[in-house]
Structure 1
Amino acid sequence: MKILILGGTGEARALAERLVDAGHDVTTSLAGRTSAPLLPQGALRIGGFGGPEGLAACLRTEAFDWLVDATHPYAGRISANAVAASAASGIPLLRLMRAPWDEPEDARWQHFESPEVAAKALPPGARVLLTTGHAGLDHFLARADCGFLVRVIQAPQAGLPDHARLLLERPPYDLDHELALLRDNGVTHMVSKNSGGGQTAAKLAAAGALGVAVIIIDRPAYPAAREVASVDEALAILHSDASRR
């Protein structure tokens, strides 16, 4: 089968590898926001499609059999475009979305709908580890009454103000690393998306162990689609369809 994966996650890379190994024709599309991304097996496409219409046209023109949305859980616009493009093109869509982290009963995470609202909730004098990527960064950095450690894979184009420090790291992170990071920087608050998965989950365990307040920016709402939470589940559906062709 010919399969287009909207990628950029570890799950997308794992799925592409296993589909290529099984003999399928796989193209992974990356948004191109990271200058040195980890590359999947199979063909590669970099850049946007021009909205849902452009994606639908690509699906039809290139005669793909399946569209798999394996983007980050917070890539809301891309996921919405995938639903619209699938409906317009008639190409079936499968969403591979990792499950969110479960909140421990005693964790008392604070939940907010957006970076803007979360930034306003920080108390003056907070020392904050920001782990939310580039989106919404300006709302937090506008809080000059707080100190920030901004952890990202790639440096933002604009420089950081004096009350913020840049930390360039790529996951996975282990518990010892996260405990040391929080302790050494006197972190009082950590801001995170509920991305799920194991590569960055240690930060939540470390925050819980040290009593660091956890602020969660909740996932966006997605249009309805056929959805699975694991690579194995996705493969079962795709291989089942391939066997009927």
Structure 2
Amino acid sequence: MPASQRRLWLIGGTSESVQLAEAIASLNLLCLVTVTTAAAKSLYPQTPSLQIQVGRLNGKQIEQLCQQQQITAILDASHPYAVEISRIAIATAQRYQIPYLRFERPLVKGNEGDGDRCRDAPWRVSTVKAGFEQRLSSTAKPNSLNPPLQTQNEPSVITLDSFETLVTGDYLNQQRVLLTVGYKVLSLFQDWQARSTLFARILPAVTSLEAAIAAGFSRDRIIALRPPVPFELEMALWRHWDISRVVTKASGVAGGEATKRQVAAQLGIPLIVIDRPVVTYPQQTSDVAVALEFCQRYL
């Protein structure tokens, strides 16, 4: 295939994917970026080497995309919980022998980060052509499941393996709970509306609001806010609603997890972290340089 026709597929939807797109564009590599919303599209650089496609993709559409766009490599920088697109992309890559690399957002360990640092993404590519010197540091994943809740004077981070483990357990009983987990899983908490006081923080989108209302959240218990949420605002929201439990995903610093850990520690509120779904990636990295070297190798 002529080099002029080769194109990378960057699976987007995260702040890291935006910055990777910027770096790829600075190298003048042809790249197709896929996102699910028009709002996400606006975050990416407008440059001739980048083609941005909006819309959700199923297996058939992904196969057509790879063939029509003559994709020679796949860089998957989708959200850690967007497992469906990753699994389909992996299957397609294996079927058509397309090189695949997962760019995995680093995990947060302990109280990593602080209120000021967490306002920004954990890395920015500024000197891509000068040796790919930007690096990400990966951290170990907590292993404990269902640890005992501690007192308000001994705030804990409770790591659970799934939302099912959370809703079938007794973690939320008679608590004032803030859910910062996205709209797609809110229906799982509908049965808890009578046993606890639930609040939902969602993205400012009609789909998110409709899902929250359908799951039994009254309008005075919903806040639509696009992250990142600054430390001071996060703390003010928890205090305003007199929150006693917070549920979040292991979404990394860019997803606001580090900020929530800091606020939880300061206010003495247990933070329940739902671990990332298990996906068997053929190969993965949290290293920017490795990702960019992968792009250059196949384009």
User: Which shows bigger deviation, 17-26 or 103-112?
Assistant: 103-112
How many residues are paired up? 239
1:6 equivalent among 11, 31, 41: 11
Match of 1:203 in 2: 260
TM-score (norm 1): 0.88
Q: 2:217, 2:297 → 1: CA distance?
A: 53
Is the counterpart of residue 193 in structure 1 residue 200 in structure 2? no
Question: 2:155 touches 2:264 (CA, 8 Å); kept in 1?
Answer: no
Describe how 1:69-148 pairs up with structure 2 within 5 A.
69-104=76-111, 108-120=156-168, 121-144=170-193, 145-148=195-198
1:15–1:156: structure 2 CA closer, same or farther, 3 Å change rule?
Answer: same
1:149 equivalent among 171, 182, 199: 199
Which runs of no fewer than 5 residues in structure 1 stay unpaired?
none
In the TM superposition, residue 71 of structure 1 has moved relative to its aligned partner by: 0.4
Match of 1:40 in 2: 44
Alignment-mate amino acid for residue 48 of structure 1 = R
Q: CA RMSD in A?
A: 2.2
1:199–1:139: structure 2 CA closer, same or farther, 3 Å change rule?
Answer: closer
In the TM superposition, residue 163 of structure 1 has moved relative to its aligned partner by: 8.9
**Larger relative contact order (C-alpha < 8 A, sep ≥ 6)?**
2
Alignment-mate amino acid for residue 117 of structure 1 = T
Describe how 1:172-187 pairs up with structure 2 within 5 A.
172-187=228-243
Q: 1:49, 1:199 → 2: CA distance?
A: 23
In the TM superposition, residue 134 of structure 1 has moved relative to its aligned partner by: 1.3
What does the per-residue CA deviation read over 1:143-172, in whole Å, with 9 as the maximum and x for residues that have no partner? 122112211113332424349711111111
Q: Determine helix, strand or coil for the equivalent of 2:44.
A: coil
In the TM superposition, residue 197 of structure 1 has moved relative to its aligned partner by: 2.4
Which runs of no fewer than 5 residues in structure 2 stay unpaired?
1-5, 112-141, 143-153
In the TM superposition, residue 226 of structure 1 has moved relative to its aligned partner by: 1.6
In the TM superposition, residue 73 of structure 1 has moved relative to its aligned partner by: 0.4
1:72–1:166: structure 2 CA closer, same or farther, 3 Å change rule?
Answer: same
Question: 2:72 touches 2:298 (CA, 8 Å); kept in 1?
Answer: no
Q: Determine helix, strand or coil for the equivalent of 1:156.
A: helix
User: Which shows bigger deviation, 141-150 or 97-106?
Assistant: 97-106
In the TM superposition, residue 107 of structure 1 has moved relative to its aligned partner by: 5.9
Is the counterpart of residue 237 in structure 1 residue 294 in structure 2? yes
Match of 1:222 in 2: 279
List structure 1 segments (4+ residues) > 6 angstroms apart after TM superposition: none
User: Which shows bigger deviation, 109-118 or 69-78?
Assistant: 109-118
Q: 1:87, 1:68 → 2: CA distance?
A: 14
Question: 1:119 touches 1:140 (CA, 8 Å); kept in 2?
Answer: yes
User: Which shows bigger deviation, 178-187 or 162-171?
Assistant: 162-171
Alignment-mate amino acid for residue 17 of structure 2 = A
1:3–1:107: structure 2 CA closer, same or farther, 3 Å change rule?
Answer: farther
Alignment-mate amino acid for residue 40 of structure 1 = Y
Q: 2:100, 2:91 → 1: CA distance?
A: 10
What does the per-residue CA deviation read over 1:194-240, in whole Å, with 9 as the maximum and x for residues that have no partner? 01124512111101111111111111111232211143431133234
What does the per-residue CA deviation read over 1:75-100, in whole Å, with 9 as the maximum and x for residues that have no partner? 11111111111111111111111111
What does the per-residue CA deviation read over 1:113-146, in whole Å, with 9 as the maximum and x for residues that have no partner? 3223212333422111111101221122321221
Q: Determine helix, strand or coil for the equivalent of 2:210.
A: coil
